[in-house]
């Protein structure tokens, strides 16, 4: 199955995902793994260009709890896999997934659910008071420079943050196949922005409409 456009949350299934889930299953239920002796492990990661957060929930003897802090997944199996997955899942002008939830079991295949939003609870079975703060406008700017979206594909929760902080977000420019921000422009590939290319300067007098379309969303004008 190919990676699909990302506008709604879904379960991802393809060879790259299945291979990654198999590695995580082997690590999770090994003697030194976070799910040793458990019936299930659920790992939730919020991953953006500037920040990442992960919380592991373990069901042991029918009860949910946090993973032992002395055990963890390897960087290669979890963190690097998710970073690669983000690039593979990028859809030009639409963005990539924000939250990744891995379900692992000792005797059956795992699954991966992905979300185009920040899941702010600290783990799957947290109490209502255990929440992370939402990302700042600066964090979201970094994300949209790396994985740019058109104005129409920036979700309302991002617009609310930009509006509250008076920040103009980077935008994907279909005409130039680029990300445009603060009078700068970089080319965009099918795996995100090409940071090997130095940004060029946009002359606003020559391109007066570059950011005009976002003024209504930001400032109601």
pLDDT in tens, 138-173: 999 999 999 999 999 999 999 999 999 999 999 999
Q: Cα-flanking dihedrals φ and ψ of residue 75, to 5°?
A: -60, -40
Closest by Cα among 81, 82, 77, 76 to 97: 82
Element (H, E) at 184: strand 184-189
* Structure confidence at residue 117 as a pLDDT band (50, 70, 90): very high
Residue 129 Cα distances to 122, 123, 133, angstroms: 9, 12, 12
Using the predicted structure, report yes or no on whether residue 214 has a pLDDT greater than 70: no
Q: Mean pLDDT over residues 34-49, rounded?
A: 95
pLDDT reported for residue 209: 62
CA atoms within 13 A on the CB side of 90: 25
Q: Is the pTM of this model over 0.85?
A: yes
- Residues 106-140 as b or e (16 or more Cβ within 10 Å = b): eeeebbbbbbbebbeebbbbbeeeeeeeebebebb
Using the predicted structure, report yes or no on whether residue 69 has a pLDDT greater than 80: no
**Other beta carbons within 10 Å of 182:** 13
* Structure confidence at residue 71 as a pLDDT band (50, 70, 90): confident
Separation between Cα atoms, residue 123 and residue 135, nearest integer Å: 17
C-alpha dihedral over 213, 136, 117, 178, to 10 degrees? Answer: 40
Separation between Cα atoms, residue 174 and residue 101, nearest integer Å: 31
Write the DSSP string, 69-88: TT----TIIIIIHHHHHHHH
Using the predicted structure, report yes or no on whether residue 219 has a pLDDT greater than 80: no
């Amino acid at each position: 199955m190919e990676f699909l456009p990302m506008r709604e949350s879904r379960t991802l299934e393809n060879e790259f995902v299945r291979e990654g889930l198999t590695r995580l299953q082997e690590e999770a239920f090994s003697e030194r793994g976070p799910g040793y002796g458990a019936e299930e492990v659920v790992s939730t990661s919020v991953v953006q260009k500037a920040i990442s957060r992960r919380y592991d929930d373990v069901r042991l003897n029918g009860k949910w709890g946090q993973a032992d802090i002395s055990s963890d997944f390897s960087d290669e199996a979890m963190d690097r896999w998710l970073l690669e997955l983000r690039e593979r899942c990028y859809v030009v002008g639409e963005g990539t997934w924000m939250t990744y939830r891995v379900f692992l079991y000792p005797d059956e295949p795992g699954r991966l659910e992905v979300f185009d939003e920040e899941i702010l609870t600290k783990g799957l079975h947290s109490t209502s008071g255990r929440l992370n703060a939402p990302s700042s406008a600066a964090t979201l700017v970094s994300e949209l420079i790396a994985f740019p979206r058109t104005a129409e594909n920036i979700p309302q929760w991002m617009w609310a943050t930009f509006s509250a902080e008076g920040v103009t977000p980077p935008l994907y420019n279909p005409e130039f196949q680029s990300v445009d921000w603060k009078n700068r422009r970089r080319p965009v590939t099918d795996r995100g922005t090409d940071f090997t290319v130095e940004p060029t300067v946009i002359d606003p007098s020559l391109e007066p409409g570059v950011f005009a379309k976002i003024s209504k969303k930001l400032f109601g004008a």
